[in-house]
Every structure is written in structure tokens, then in C-alpha cells.
Amino acid sequence: MKMTVIGAGNVGATTAQRLADKQLATEVVLLDIAEGIPQGKGLDMFESMPVEASDCRILGTNSYEDTIDSGIVIITAGLARKPGMSRDDLLAANAKIVGSCAEQAVKYSPNAFYIIVSNPLDVMTFVALQKTGLPRNKVLGMAGVLDTARYRTFLSMELNVSVEDIQAFVLGGHGDTMVPLPRYTTIAGVPITELLPQDRIDAIVQRTRNGGIEIVNHLKTGSAYYAPSAAAVQMVECIVKDKRRILPCAVMLKGEYGLHDVVVGVPVKVGKNGMEDIFQITLDEHENAELVKSADDVKATMEKLASMDY
């Protein structure tokens, strides 16, 4: 399958490299508006394929014509957060960028699946849905996979256990109102509520919510890209290999969890048809209230967007 990554910055370039290393695509097209950047990075990656024993071809380009007939398009383009900048600060600028990318990409790859990585994630997924006109199963936002990975990482650090034995979900919007679910978090089947006191669980939940800005504050002039790219590629792998894994992804809801016409992270079965099903796990009163609050936050941002010219 041919794949396109739009945006040759840190997230996009790392995503393209991971796709090629894992041989998930026969060809990866790395597209960016900056002349020379995708060409240089693409050629550098291609020259690493003999070392990686991968026959994936990598093409860097500034032309959407080179993306024709891609099976999966990953949109990473957009401005990165800087210290003191919220995801909402990125709204207007990135809506124009992502909207333009989606409109142009779908002209050449109308049958592709679209995975959105640009922030603010949930609303950018909504923008891509609007601009492509595709059904909701074909446009997925990456956030929940990343947030859950961070949550599992912090639990592994706390308990000194393998990340492989940690099962968890983080639902809701990709931001301060995300909803980690300790009640559904287990270590080799044992609920974390039996392994950690409530104050430590609360601290880990809060660190998860601040996971992105913690890295921004360290880097000063950039944002995370290793974990976001890994999360996007995991979603790609589920589609390519029809794995039907249950991953928390940002998708348009049509009544699931009592939520309508809002893009928010929920457990999704991801396979060859993209979003194949939405798993509706039972939430207690507090969890449900948190999810509704998070969805309302996303919806408010979507309403802000409606008044903007993008």
C-alpha cells in the first residue's frame, strides 16, 4: 500500500521513517510546502533502507500529484505548541492548514483512510471530516492512543513493571479535560486500585493530562514527536494488517455514550475498514460526567471554529 505523510516536520518525518522501517507501505510519500525539506529528508530515509533491510520506497515532494492513490494519508502539518500556548491557540491557524491539506489530498486519494495528528486534535479531525466529505469510519484522530501510552508509561515508572502488562484507556478530548479511567486500568489483570493508593493514581492521571506540555516545557522550542509518531503508526498497522485492536481514537459520535455530533476519543475497533465499531463500555456517574465535560469542551472549540474563516 502506498501511504502519504503530510508535514515533514519532526512528527511527520519520524512517522514516515517508522512506516518505512516497519515495511507497512510499499511507498511512503513525504509532502511539505517547504521546498527541499521533504526531498532531503525523504532521500536520507530512503538511503537508510538497505541498512534496515526494507524495500519501502520513500519520496519527498512539494506536489500533491505525487500522493495519488494513497491508501492511507496521515496529516501532521500545522504549527507546534510553544511554552505558554494552549492547544486552542493553534485553532484558527491549524484549521486553515489542515483544511487545505485534507481538501487537496482527497482529490488525489478519495478512497484513503485519513489519520489526523495535528492539534487541536479533536477539532482538526472534525475539519478533515468536513473537508474530505468522507464517512466517519475513514477519518480518525490519533490522540487517545498517545494519551494512553503516556498513562501506561507513568504507571510503569511508578510500579516498576513492564508496559506490556499494563492495559488502560484514556478517553475524551486531547487536552486538559481528557479522561483516564483507573477503574478500567489493570496490571496483568489486577486493577491498579488494588496496587496504588488514590493519591498516587490521581497524580499519575494529572501527569497524563499534562503529558504534552511537560515535554514542550523541556524542549522550549518544540513539542513531542517520538510518541505521537509511534501512536499514529500503531493505528496504520491495525488498518494494514486488519488487526481489529481496540484503541482509543478520536471519532465523530452519533449518539454513542449519549454524545451527538462531536469528535471525541472513545474505544474503537480498528481494522481494514478503519473504524469498524465503537465499544461502549459502562461508565459510572463520575466517569460519564468527566466524558461529557470533555466533549462539551471540544464542542465549544468546534463552535469557535464555526465563526472563523478557514
Residues tagged active-site: 174
Residue 172's DSSP bridge partners are 265
Give the N- to C-terminal CA distance of the chain in Å, as an integer: 32
The answer to whether 64 and 75 have CB atoms below 8 angstroms apart is no
CB 103 within 8 A of CB 131: yes
Instruction: Work out the angle at residue 51's Cα, subtended by the Cα atoms of residues 45 and 56, and round it to the nearest 5 degrees.
Output: 50
Give the closest residue to 264 by CA, choosing from 138, 178, 188, 166.
178
3-class DSSP state of 73 = strand
* Phi then psi dihedrals of residue 298, to 5 deg: -65, -45
What is the DSSP secondary-structure string of 5-35? EE--SHHHHHHHHHHHHTT--SEEEEE-SST
Rounded Cα distance between 173 and 176, Å, is 8
